[in-house]
Structure 1
Amino acid sequence: RVADSAAFLHLDLAVENGTGGLAPARPLTWQVEYPGQDPEAQKDKLVWEIQVSERDVRALVPLVQELEILNTAPLTGVPRAVPVKLVAVEAGGGVAELTEPPGCESADKQVLQVSGTPGESRGARGARVDFWSRRLHASLRFTVWAPLLPLRVQLGDTALEQVRGWRLPGGPESAPAEAEEPGEEAERRARGCRPQYQRTALRVLAHFVAHPLDGGRHLAYLPGPDWLLDVTHLVAGRTRVQDPRVA
Structure 2
Amino acid sequence: MWMNRTSGERRVKAKKGVNLMQTKSKNAQWKVDWEVQSGAKHSITTIDVNKNKAVNQGDALGNVEVMQLDFEMENFTSLSVTRRINWNIDYKGQSPQSDSEKVVTELTVVQRDIQAVIPLAMDTEIINTAILTGRTVAIPVKMVSIEMNGAVTDISAFVQCKSTNEDIVKVSMNCDYVFVNGKETRGSMNARVIFSYEHLSAPLELTVWVPKLPLQVELSDSNLSFIKGWRVPILPDRRSTRDSDGDDEDDDRRLNRGCTLQYQRSLVKVLTQFHTTSTEGTDQVITMLGPDWQVDVTDLVQDFLKVANPRIAELVDRTILVGLELGVSVLKVRGDIRHESTLAHEGPRE
TM-score range, shorter chain: 0.7 to 0.9
Partner of 1:112: 169
CA pair 54-114 structure 1, distance change in 2 beyond 3 A: same
Note if 1:14 corresponds to 2:72.
Answer: yes
The alpha-carbon distance between structure 1 residues 6 and 40, as it changes in their structure 2 partners (threshold 3 A), is closer
Distance 1:99 1:151 in 2: 39
The residue number in structure 1 matching 2:102 is: 45
Separation of aligned partners in 1, 2:280 and 2:62: 40
The structure, 1 or 2, with the larger RCO (C-alpha pairs under 8 Å, 6+ apart) is: 1
Q: How far is the alpha carbon of 1:42 from its aligned partner?
A: 5.5
CA distance 1:134–1:40, shift in 2 (3 Å): closer
Query: Corresponding residue for 1:204?
Result: 270
Structure 1: runs of 5+ lacking an equivalent: 178-190
Residue 213 of structure 1: how far off its partner (Å): 3.8
What amino acid sits opposite 1:235 in the alignment?
V
Distance 2:267 2:71 in 1: 76
Once the two structures are superposed, what CA deviation does each residue of 1:80-110 show, in whole Å capped at 9, x if it has no partner? 1011100111111111122753111111111
Q: 1:187-198 alignment to 2 at 5 Å?
A: 191-198=257-264
TM-score under structure 2 normalisation?
0.60
SS at match of 2:80: coil
More strand by share: 2
Task: Determine the C-alpha separation between the residues in 1 that align with 2:261 and 2:139.
Answer: 50
Contact 1:31 1:43 in 2 (8 A): no
The offset of 1:5, in angstroms, is 6.8
Alignment of 1:245 onto 2:311: yes
- CA displacement, residues 42-67 of structure 1 (integer Å, 9 cap, x when unaligned): 64333222223321112111111221
What TM-score comes out, normalization by structure 1 length? 0.83
Is 1:87 paired with 2:140? Answer: no
* 2:121 counterpart of 1:64: yes
Give unmatched runs, 5+ long, in structure 2.
1-60, 174-179, 244-256, 314-350
Residue aligning to 1:131? 195
Q: Secondary structure at the match of 1:14?
A: strand
Percent of pairs identical after alignment? Answer: 39
Alignment partner for residue 152 of structure 1, among 211, 216, 231? 216
Question: Contact 1:22/1:99 (CA < 8 Å) preserved in 2?
Answer: no
The residue correspondences of 1:160-175 to structure 2 (distance < 5 A) are 160-171=224-235, 172=237, 174-175=239-240
Q: Comparing 20-29 with 230-239, which one deviates more in the overlay?
A: 20-29
